[in-house]
């Protein structure tokens, strides 16, 4: 299957700082990537859909000015948590859709290993 | 009504037994269904996809789909301790100009040695 990487795997930061998380598709080009957040004992919640070369589409309730997404190339999407606060502490997971290009109901999402963010 | 619902866990099975996981979905137009396995502290890993009614087998895993009943299940045969994880049912749902995955809450499986 397709391989997706994330960096860093974990990060601890002080309240008020910004944190950038990278998501890369290693063996295929991903025109669409997704960013999820998962709190303990809960399922994945989609935050936004990242499309290469265009603005991200955010889910209802997700602050686009707080969670900045950039998808500048076919293999890299970044999520920046700006002015992070303790309530932003969570497990952030990206996924990339394969095959790239158009959309189909049979398209499969492959997940990166996740980034655990702790805001002190 | 939740978009995707899974049978509540946790589910505990003895080693070598069959673990049965169930999932129902609300959108009758959904066409694609996925089972992901998530170990504690890790991200989800795709184990099965199914698009047509009936059974699909892959090793010890069998996915079953019944679109008329809006029901999809996963059977794990000859369960091993390494199968202990949370299993997420995901449905590809149509949104304007795209699809997005909707996840169930997950069923935690524990295989007793």
Summary count for chain B: helices (H), strands (E): 0, 11
Q: Do B44 and A44 touch (CB under 8 A)?
A: yes
At residue A41, the pLDDT reads 85
**What is the mean pLDDT of the segment spanning A63-68?**
95
Cis amide leading into B10 (omega within 30):
yes
- Contacts B99 to A, Cβ<8 Å: 103-105, 107
Instruction: Say whether pLDDT at A1 is over 70.
Output: no
Q: Is the pLDDT of residue A103 over 70?
A: no
- The bridge status of strand A90-98 relative to strand A108-111 is antiparallel
CB contact under 8 A, A108 and B103: no
Radius of gyration of chain A (CA): 14
Q: Taking CA atoms, what residue in B is nearest to A94?
A: B43
Six token digits for residue B67: 């679109």
The per-residue pLDDT for B87 is: 97
Which residue of B32, B41, B42 is in closest CB contact with A106? Answer: B32
Q: Do B43 and A1 touch (CB under 8 A)?
A: no
Say if residues A64 and A58 touch (Cβ distance below 8 Å).
yes
Checking if the pLDDT of B34 tops 70, the result is: yes
The predicted pLDDT at position A27 comes to: 85
User: Would the CB atoms of A49 and B98 count as touching at under 8 Å?
Assistant: yes
DSSP secondary structure string, chain A? ---EEEE-SEEEE-TT--EEEEEEESSS--SEEEEEEE-TTS--EEEEEEETTS--EEPTT--TTTEEEEEEETTEEEEEE-S--GGG-EEEEEEEEES-SS--TT-EEEE---EEEEE-
pLDDT over 60 (residue A101):
no
pLDDT score for A107:
79
Structure confidence by residue, pLDDT tens digits, A15-40: 999 999 999 999 888 888 999 999 98
Q: In this structure, are residues A70 and A77 in contact, taking their beta carbons and an 8 Å threshold? A: yes
Q: Does B45 touch chain A (CB under 8 A)?
A: yes
Res A2: pLDDT: 83
| Cross-chain residue pair A44–B88, CB shorter than 8 Å | yes
Query: To the nearest whole percent, how much of chain A has pLDDT over 90?
Result: 69
A63-72, A105-114, B26-35, B72-81: segment of lowest average pLDDT: A105-114
Q: Specify the pLDDT at position B106.
A: 94
Distance between B17 CA and the closest CA of chain A, angstroms:
26
* Angstroms from A42 CA to nearest CA on chain B: 7
Q: Can you give the pLDDT at residue B5?
A: 94
Q: How confident is the model at residue B84 (pLDDT cuts 50, 70, 90)?
A: very high
Which is nearest to A100 in space by CA: A85, A91, A110? A110
């Amino acid at each position: 299957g397709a391989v997706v990487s994330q960096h860093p795997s974990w990060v601890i930061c002080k309240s008020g700082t910004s944190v950038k998380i990278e998501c890369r598709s290693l063996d295929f080009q991903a025109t669409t990537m997704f960013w999820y957040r998962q709190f303990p004992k809960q399922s994945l919640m989609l935050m936004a859909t990242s499309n290469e070369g265009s603005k991200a589409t955010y889910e209802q309730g997700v602050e686009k000015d707080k969670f900045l997404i950039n998808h500048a190339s076919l293999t890299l999407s970044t999520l920046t948590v700006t002015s992070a606060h303790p309530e932003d502490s969570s497990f952030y997971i990206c996924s990339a859709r394969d095959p790239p290009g158009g959309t189909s109901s049979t398209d499969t999402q492959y997940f990166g290993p996740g980034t655990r963010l702790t805001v002190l | 009504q939740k978009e995707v619902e899974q049978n509540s866990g946790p589910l505990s099975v003895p080693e070598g037994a069959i673990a049965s996981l169930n999932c129902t979905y609300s959108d009758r137009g959904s066409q694609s269904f996925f089972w992901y396995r998530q170990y504690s502290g890790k991200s989800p890993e795709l184990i099965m996809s199914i698009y047509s009614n009936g059974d699909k087998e892959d090793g010890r895993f069998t996915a079953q789909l019944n679109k008329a009943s809006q029901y999809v299940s996963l059977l794990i045969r000859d369960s091993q301790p390494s199968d202990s994880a949370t299993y997420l049912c995901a449905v590809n749902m149509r949104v304007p100009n795209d699809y997005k995955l909707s996840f169930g809450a997950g069923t935690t499986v524990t295989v007793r040695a």
